[in-house]
Structure 1
Amino acid sequence: MPAPTPRTAPTDPAAPARRPNVLVFFTDQQRWDTTGLHGNPLGLTPHLDRLAADGVCVDRSFTCQPVCAPSRASLQTGRYPTATGVHRNGLSLPRSAPTLARAFRDAGWATGYIGKWHLAGDQTHGPVPEEDRAGYEHWLAANLLEFTSDAYETTLYDGDGAPHTFGGYRADALGDAALDFLTGDGRGAADRPFFLFLSFLEPHHQNSRDDYPAPEGYGARYADPWVPSDLAALGGGNWAEHLPGYYGMVRRLDEVLGRITAALAERGELDDTVVLFTSDHGCHFKTRNDEYKRSVHDASLRVPTVLRGPGLRGGTRLPELVSHVDLPPTLLDAAGVPVPDTMQGRSLLPLLRGADPAWPSEVLVQVSESEVGRALRTDRWKYGVTAPEGDAWHDVRAEAYRETYLYDLAADPDELVNLVGDPALATVRDGLRARLLARIVASGEPLPVITAAAPAG
């Protein structure tokens, strides 16, 4: 598709005349470059590309923690993982946490959640207790959908804890459930706007067999896939085996998106609905460590993000760096709902209107499970630190870090050459170190010590 025009002021920046619906279409482990918006030539995302052509494409959108539960906690709260108490998988979102669902519900929206939750601890089967649902009213979900489903077998639990088993492809089953919510009585009174969070497992691998199960016949479509440059340059990993299935999963997700937006359009509701498409993190196909994410590299951090709706129109391409913590306040702001002071991100709407000259020029990233780390991603640099003695599973943070990563993204966008020990870049590291320390403190953590990297011999 033709690229949307560069950023201009949206065509309808005023507050919405009526309370809009809000739909979050949330995928799992989807790289930004699976989309036509970001140069993928395979035509995997025509519906998303068209949504962006009439909305806002956040060109450089990053998770603030490249693993499922922490990033999901941030999207429910607008807070960094360490501030939510969910710094790694297997932890529960605190039951009293201020959340998107509570903010929308209290403002009069009918709230619904469908799909993968992953914020009720390490529970793999059974219903999520009501007190662990973050304030959502309509509920059809599983805490760990990867363990209650397979490609063609899906079990979700309703608000009463009863299991519902679906046939057909898993992404289609969730899409059907969303359509039932949109056209049925799950959203409550007809005059209530809805906030629906639709959370897929695709294109995440199927944990039970480390596979990417596309719909029947879809993997074969991409048997000779286009290969992102970082994967091709790094070699190794298992992308050669799994890219066809991964791409097939992305294509089917886009078809589900098309069905849902078409249904909203048919009901005359699409233009009165704020739509957010994003993912929890990316995927490096075991080229950076022994699994798929949990690294400071853009393959793990960068995700596709598109918004469309009142105040979010015009084919805008937003060039600033945006974090997951910025998306919840954006949704509330676009709907005319006050943004809670607890949220650490900031709405994109003032930026889109040209009224936020102080937008940060970097994003902060926290890393757990693979290492206790923190990173800064700027226009040009990727700077990362780790705690050599840290316990990556149990330690929320560290008192001391060591410089571990430095990539010049202008010269090395695939992050192939680590320059952290280059003596010629000592001044660059000094500046990045100061910026990272400031962002760590601003996120609510104590000020740590960062030890400079030893010069490369």
Structure 2
Amino acid sequence: MTVDRRGVLLAGTGGAFGLYSWAAGAAAPAPKRLKLRRRHGVRPKNILVVLTDDHRYDAMGFMKAQSFGDTPTLDRLAREGVHFRNAFVTTALCSPSRASIFTGLYAHQHRVVDNNHPIPPGLIYYPEYLRAAGYETALIGKWHMGVETDTPQPGFDRWVSFKGQGDYLPGPNGLNVDGAKVPQRGYITDELTDYALDWIGKRSGKRPWMLHLAHKAVHSEFIPAERHKGRYTNQTFRYPDSMRPKVPGRPMWVENQRNSWHGVGYPYHGTLDVGDYYKRYMETLLAVDEGLARIMDLLARRGELDDTLILYMGDNGFMFGEHGLIDKRAAYEESMRVPMLMRCPSLFGPGEVSQVVANIDVAPTMLAAAGLVAPDGLAGADMLPLARGEEAPWRTELIYEYYWERNFPQTPTVHALREDRYKYVHFHGIWDVDELYDLATDPNENNNLLARPGHEELAERMSAKLFRLLEETGGMQIPLSADAGERNELRDPKGPAQAPFPPRFFRPPGT
């Protein structure tokens, strides 16, 4: 078994997804080659990446998705920096998205395809390149790759993390601080911010630094800090129009998911109201916004704020009733679209970027900010030219992929191709209709063009492009993994009834 410089597993008898038992008879991965060429005349920037969990693209004050929801610090980032208004993840699930952020690769390339798969040996994270180039590096917060480990990972001088999703309030697992078990003292968002402030405050300024601050927030169950509880209780939530049942053209599996763990008819096998749920979500986000303000204040006092590249983003979106669903995984905009804000006045001024960017673009962008030439073969690209307003070549489409999980069987394997105007969504392993949307006229994805004749040629063109891109990037295999996790497969006997097949499947014999 060999690993190339991108850390992508290339060999093995089982094909791209054929081998997941790394210890049994597997050859040791080749030594990592971490020395990258330097860009001439580029002075390395300090880098702060703030990653939140399940933060959807419009859940920021300045987006005005609802009449409430304060995010003054994020609003400031958008005002003083660049707002990437069409930012996406290529898999709307924690572990695959985080692996794409760290590697610049699609899930079918880095192979962390769900929350249970192990990390392939030899996979390279971009902080490893930074560290080899002289950076001081730290990860503080959620790791959540390679099952439930909190063990320190390659590429980081400082490590503060926790197992799995972690806990908002102190629990028995505590934190892993540089390999030692340390009790969690208080509310997790505040505590992670304190660790970040402590680490930044101890930098001497002699070497550039990179901090990856990954909050547990705003992952469910949403628990706000005590000081923020109830702030939005009396506010009015606007329920999405697509939450209504039996929308024409909606796939049968989507309608059936209403009565499931991830549906509005039986959410988490309970009776929560998505409006109240959203209010707690936005209350939980308040501590993240306050913590970022504290970090920016420290950077200002140190004289480093305007020369530090700050990137804020979510690891995936979250649905609050759209299409009758909650959570993520699906290829709908609210699931795969995330906030992305970037500020560094010494590199670029305020602005807005409309091109489609994604989590796979983070690694090459951070390498560019560090004055390094990215290794060959990354799926992502450097976003800095877009931030500067330059006419740079850019993608015209983005692949989305999600692989079916037995512990969450409501959502099938999904591949989608998102262009600037159209989105084609292709499902595997189910007897159902695919989806095609004109995002220019139907941004909320309520009108499935494949539900009636007239758009077959467009669907065929996009399907052919999707599979060509998957073929070119090594994505023509669907992974198989052993059963893992609790089976969330129940239905409420008094909940929404099973959906009928789409009308297009009915045809009398002989016609």
* Normalised TM-score (structure 2): 0.75
Superposition pairs of residues 185-334 of structure 1, within 5 angstroms: 190-206=205-221, 212-225=222-235, 227=237, 230=240, 233-234=243-244, 236=264, 238-285=273-320, 288=323, 292-309=327-344, 312-334=347-369
Q: Which residue of 2 aligns with 1:52?
A: 78
Confirm or deny that 1:164 pairs with 2:182: yes
Q: CA RMSD in A?
A: 2.7
Letter in 2 for 1:171: T
Could you tell me which amino acid in structure 2 is paired with residue 196 of structure 1? L
- Is 1:138 aligned to 2:168, yes or no? no
Which piece of structure 1 moves more, 232-241 or 310-319?
A: 232-241
Query: Which residue of structure 2 lines up, in the alignment, with residue 111 of structure 1?
Result: 137
Give the deviation of 1:319 after TM superposition. Answer: 0.3
CA distance change for structure 1 residues 229 and 59 in 2, over 3 Å: closer, same or farther? Answer: farther
Q: Distance in 2 between matches of 1:51 and 1:287?
A: 28
Letter of the 2:440 counterpart:
A
Q: 1:106 offset after TM fit, Å?
A: 0.8
Amino acid at match of 2:124: P
For the pair 1:445 / 2:475, whether they are aligned, the reply is yes
CA distance in 2, matches of 1:431, 1:37: 37
Deviation at 1:260, TM superposition (A): 0.7
- How far apart are 1:282 and its partner, in Å? 0.9
**What CA distance in whole angstroms lies between the structure 1 residues aligned with 2:381 and 2:275?**
39
Structure-2 change in CA distance of 1:117 and 1:228 (3 Å):
farther
3-state SS in 2 of match to 1:303: coil
Measure the CA separation in 1 of the matches of 2:460 and 2:450: 11
CA distance in 2, matches of 1:421, 1:290: 20
Q: CA deviation at 1:377?
A: 1.8
- Native 8 Å contact 2:117 2:147 kept in 1: yes
**Any conservation in 1 of the 2:139–2:161 contact (CA below 8 Å)?**
yes
The alpha carbon displacement at 1:411 in A equals 2.8
Deviation at 1:433, TM superposition (A): 1.5
2:371 to 321, 331, 336: 336
- Counterpart of 2:381 in structure 1 is 346
Task: Tell me the equivalent position of 1:9.
Answer: none
In the alignment, is the contact (CA less than 8 A) between 1:15 and 1:334 conserved in 2? no
- Matched with 1:150 is 168
Kept after mapping to 2: 8 A contact 1:26/1:200? yes
Q: Which amino acid in structure 2 is aligned with residue 158 of structure 1? A: V
Q: Give the counterpart of 1:176 among 152, 173, 194.
A: 194
- The reply to whether residue 35 of structure 1 matches residue 60 of structure 2 is yes
Distance 1:138 1:357 in 2: 36
Q: In structure 1, what residue type is equivalent to 2:366?
A: L
The 3 A distance-change label for structure 1 pair 105 and 80 is same
Counterpart mapping for 1:12-31 below 5 A? 18-31=43-56
Report how far residue 437 of structure 1 moved. 2.0
Code of the residue aligned with 1:144 in structure 2: it is G
Partners of 2:350 and 2:335 lie apart in 1 by 27
**Sequence identity (%):** 32
Displacement of 1:163 after TM fit?
Answer: 1.6
2:437 is the alignment partner of 1:422: no
**Structure 1: how far apart are the matches of 2:212 and 2:56?**
20
Mapped partners of 1:312, 1:384: distance in 2: 37
Q: Kindly provide the amino acid, as one letter, of the partner of residue 177 in structure 2.
A: D
Letter in 2 for 1:278: M
- After superposition, the C-alpha distances for 1:415-447 in whole angstroms (9 at most, x for unaligned) are 223332321111221222122223322332239
Structure with max Cα Rg: 2
| Per-residue deviation, 1:110 | 0.5
What displacement does 1:361 show?
2.0
Distance 1:226-1:71 versus aligned 2 partners, 3 A rule: farther
- Mapped partners of 2:238, 2:467: distance in 1: 33
> Where in structure 1 are there 5+ consecutive unaligned residues?
1-13, 207-211, 390-400
The amino acid that maps onto 2:296 is T
- Cα distance in 1 for residues equivalent to 2:200 and 2:477: 47
- 2:69–2:282 CA contact under 8 A, matched in 1: no
Q: What is the CA–CA distance in structure 2 between the aligned matches of 1:441 and 1:228, rounded to whole Å?
A: 42
Does the alignment pair 1:381 with 2:399?
A: no
Equivalents in 2 of 1:36, 1:220: separation in Å? 18
Matches within 5 A, 1:90-109: 90-109=116-135
SS at match of 1:30: coil
